[in-house]
Amino acid sequence: MDKKTKTLLEKGEVLPIMESFYTIQGEGFHKGLASYFIRTGGCDVGCHWCDVKESWDENEHPLISVESILNDCKDVSDVIVITGGEPLMWNMGPLTKELKKYNKKIHIETSGSDIVTGEWDWFCLSPKKAKLPISEAYDIADELKVIIYNNHDFVFAEEEAKKVNKNAILYLQPEWGKREKMMPLMVDFVKKNPKWKLSLQTHKYLNIP
C-alpha cells in the first residue's frame, strides 16, 4: 500500500469493503427491519466459529471511497448497518458524517474492542472473549448480544451484562452450528433470568443475506 492510500485509510476516507447489500435485519432488537448492510473487511478478533471468516483479511477486499459507498446506499434505505469483520478497526467518522447528511439511521455491529469512531444511532455490542470491549463500548451500548457456543458462554454473558450501562437490552444468540444443542439450555436460562431475551438469526431461516 502506497503512502497516499495508507493516509486515506487512516483518515477513513477509504474503507476496505467486503460486500454491501439491501436485506432484512435478521438479529437482535431491529430484526425484521429493512436495512442496507455495509460489511467492512478486516478483523482483529478472529472467533473460531465466525461465519464470515472471508472478511478477516482486509487485504483481500477493495478500498472503496466514502463517496462511492454513499452513492451506492443513499437512495436505497433509511437504515444503514455497518458490520464486519470488525468495523471499528477503521475510522468511521467520515462515513457516518456523510450518511447523516442524508438523515440516515446508522447502526453498528461490533465487538467493541477498538476505539469508537463515528456517530451511531444504534450500537450493538457483541463482546468476544479473545479481545474484550473497551470501557466506552460498554457505556454506549444500546444492545448487548452474546453468542452462545458452549456452556461457559452463559457465565461470560452474565459477566458482560454487569459491565454495560443500565439501559442496554440483553440478548443471547445461539451460534448457528450449535443452535440445536444450545437452544433448550438458552430457553431454560432466559426463563430463570428474564432480564435476557433470545435473538435468532432469522435471515438464515429465511435464506436471505
Q: Return the CATH number at 129.
A: 3.20.20.70
Which residue range forms the structural domain that includes residue 124?
Answer: 3-206
Q: Report the alpha-carbon distance of residue 134 to residue 117 in Å, rounded.
A: 13
pLDDT tens per residue across all 209 residues of the chain: 899 999 999 999 999 999 999 999 999 999 999 999 999 999 999 998 898 999 999 999 999 999 999 999 999 999 999 999 999 999 999 999 999 999 999 999 999 999 999 999 999 999 999 999 999 999 999 999 999 999 999 999 999 999 999 999 999 999 999 999 999 999 999 999 999 999 999 999 999 99
Between CA 96 and CA 102 the distance in angstroms is 10
Domain count, the chain: 1
Cell of 134: 473497551
Amino acid 155: pLDDT: 98
* H helix or E strand, kind and range, residue 132: none
Residue 45 CB contacts under 8 Å (≥ 6 apart), including other chains: 86, 111, 113, 128, 130, 131
Report pLDDT for 145: 98
pTM of the model: 0.96
Q: How far apart are CA 8 and CA 24, in angstroms?
A: 32
